[in-house]
Structures are given as C-alpha cells and as structure tokens.
Structure 1
Amino acid sequence: MSFNCFNSPSRRRFLAGTAAMVATSAVAQDASSVNSAATTQGEQDLTETVPRNISSFRTLDWRPYFSDLNNGAVLVDIDSRALHYWAEDESFYKLYPSSVPLTEELTRRGRTKITRKVEGPSWRPTPSMLKRNPDWPEFIGPGPDNPMGTHALYLSWTYYRIHGTHDTRKIGRQSSNGCIGLYNEHIAELYEMTKVGTQVLLI
C-alpha cells in the first residue's frame, strides 16, 4: 500500500502565497464577506501560520472505522483537521489537510455517503447562514469568489459537502459553516477517486 501524506508548507511559502492571493483578489475579498478573514474563529490573523495539530496528523488504518471498503471510504477527523481516503481495492491511501466547522454547534459527526458530485459548483447559503450573516449574497456562481472552490462532493445530509476552497488560508483551521474544505488540487484528486455511494464517516 502506498501512502501520500501532506507535508506542511514552510512559513516562507505560506506567507508568499498569502501575499500573492491577497494582491490578486483584494477586490473579490472586499466584495464578499463570505470569504473574509472574519469567518475564521479564534485564528483571526491569517498572515501568520498557526499550529496545525501536526502531532495528530497521522496515517490511520481503515479497519477501526469501517467494516469494508466497498465503493471506497472517506474518514474526516474533525479534531486533527484531516481527511483520509482508502481505495476500494486497498491499492492506495490518501491523507489531506482540511478546514473544519467554526464551532461544535455547526459540526456534524456520524456516517453518511456521497450522493452527488459537481465540478464547478455554485453556492447558496443556507437559511441559518443568512440569519447569522444577513449581508451575505443569496447566490454565487462558479468561479474564484465561490466558497466551494472547483469541485464539491454532496453528502446525504442536507447542506453538508466536502468541497474545495479558493481561500487557501482556511485549510487546517476552523473556518466553515459545517462543510469540510480541501485545497482545490486535493478536492480535484478526491473527486476523481470517489464515486456516488462512497461511504463517509466524520468523527
């Protein structure tokens, strides 16, 4: 079995990437509070790196969590902010850093599955999101301002997704309203590996 584990970027690469992102999308960030730094709780200064729970960001075996690997399996560990994927035939295993919900109240744990896959997703805030954030737009189409990034995996739970993000500062942080976020290059990879029916467990 081959392992593809994520190595955290250096502070220099992180700061350089952040500076470039801010410079190229300042207008978009100002235009939509959906992608603002204020959506990251307890870790407001996004110009600096923060602890990423590296000690708990480790490879896992699928057996304590799933009875089989039919259709492949996705495990999301909220505490370590990591997403694990095992291929159905056990030929490979992937481990990705992820963003997680802002609060425990927004977090859902348990078993679900992928029910739909969308490349270039559009986004609509849920009624509860609009209640908490009345200044948010009611719809954002595909593109660089879309908080769901380039790909989305819809789960059997209403409103819950595993998706990408154009705001890479949010990965490894509490920064979502319930969904699980990945770097766009990682969600694109996961999108190709998973299928409708892939089992998902959030712990």
Structure 2
Amino acid sequence: MNRRCFLGSAAALGAGTAFPALAQTDGTTEVEADVSQTVRRNMSSFRSLDWHPYFDSLRNGAILVDTASRALHYWNEDQTIYKLYPTSVPLSEDLTRLGRTSVIRKVEGPSWAPTPAMKQRNPDWPDFVGPGPDNPLGTHALYLSWQYYRIHGTHDTRKIGRRSSNGCIGLYNEHIEELFSLAKVGTQVLLI
C-alpha cells in the first residue's frame, strides 16, 4: 500500500465517522451533553501565547485561563517556565466568571461542599465530600479570591476539554499537581 492509497483510505474512513451534536441553550451558548458520550473537541486554538497582552508584569507568576480555547497558561516570575494545560470550563456563560483574581490558598487533598446555588440546582448532591477518589476537586486545588471559584484537579478525565463545570476550572490531576508546585499564594490569575 502506498502513501496515496493510505491517505485516501483514511480520508474515506474519517468521512463516515459521526459525532454527536452539541445542544444550544440560547442559540449561542454551547452546552455539552452527558460526559460519557464521545464528542469532538476543538483544539485549533490550543496554542502557546505571550503573556505581555494580558499582564503588566509576571510578579508572583501569572495564570491565564482562556475559556474559549479551554486552555490554562502559566508563566513563572523570571520567565524560565511556561506551561500550557487543557482544561474544563463552566457549563454555561451564566456560570462563567471572567476577569482578574489571584491565588489566595493552596490545598493538597481538598474537601468539597456544593455552593448554595449548586445545591438548589442539584438537591440530591451530598452536602460534603472529603478528600479521595469521589471528590470533584481531585487531588489539589488553588483557591481564588472569588468566593467558590477554584482551579482544581478532577478524577473524571472525560471532563477536560469540555464545558462541564459549575464555575471552576478543572485540570487533569497530574497537571494540577504540577501547577500546584509552580504557583504560589499571590499568583495573579486572569480568566478571559
């Protein structure tokens, strides 16, 4: 089989693959269905960025979360480390908070309790989940100055790359562990 035959076969096979549609809640907001379904992810805008358009300096390091590309960018203070991670983002625009904040606390093995709004939307959810494999915050959490907002891990890896959170930014546990070791209290954060 030559290269041309291989490419033609691959294109024909790919053309027959069907992907589930994304629901539109208001004609403009994408909300993905059950995380157990297979969906096509948009990785076209998942690219490295320069920090200059977003921050005046890198004092204490900087985290940029791009909710459109579902990516988190981290730069350390002396510009020797740059990291780019795929993320989960909030389910809808009304759950998304954009703007400037900072890391105010770091917790390894966080516990979780639903916010009052989450409990109202999901009354069957538990009132508290301690650290461990059932905890929706994963293994590590960076608490932001905005009440109830976190950058945290997740044990449910299907959520990464999707609109799947109730407001927080989720990372694979191995990525939040790395970011946790790099970021410090006072690291500036911008969500766009």
TM-score by length of 2: 0.83
Please say if 1:185 is aligned against 2:174: yes
Quote the residue 2:32 is aligned against.
Answer: 42
* One of 67, 84, 99 as aligned partner of 1:95: 84
Quote the residue 1:65 is aligned against.
Answer: 54
Name the SS of the counterpart of 1:51 in structure 2: coil
Instruction: Give, as a single letter, the amino acid of the residue that structure 2 aligns with 1:88.
Output: E
Displacement of 1:114 in angstroms is: 0.1
Displacement of 1:47 in angstroms is: 4.3
Change (3 A) 1:177 1:64: same
Contact 2:92 2:163 in 1 (8 A): yes
Please say if 1:136 is aligned against 2:87: no
Separation of aligned partners in 2, 1:160 and 1:124: 12
The C-alpha deviation readout for 1:112-170, integer Å capped at 9, x for no partner, is: 00000000000000000000000000000000000000000000000000000000000
Change (3 A) 1:45 1:136: closer
Please say if 1:77 is aligned against 2:66: yes
The C-alpha deviation readout for 1:32-91, integer Å capped at 9, x for no partner, is: xxxxxxxx942325242x232211001000000000000000000001000000011000
Give the structure with the higher percent helix. Answer: 1
TM-score by length of 1: 0.78
Separation of aligned partners in 2, 1:131 and 1:83: 29
Quote the residue 2:185 is aligned against.
Answer: 196
Cα RMSD for the two superposed structures: 1.2
Separation of aligned partners in 1, 2:35 and 2:130: 28
Name the SS of the counterpart of 1:71 in structure 2: coil
Unmatched 5+ residue regions in structure 1? 1-39
Percent identity, aligned pairs only, is 73
Determine which structure has more spread, i.e. the larger CA radius of gyration: 2
Separation of aligned partners in 2, 1:94 and 1:72: 12
Quote the residue 2:40 is aligned against.
Answer: 51
| Count of residues paired in the alignment | 163
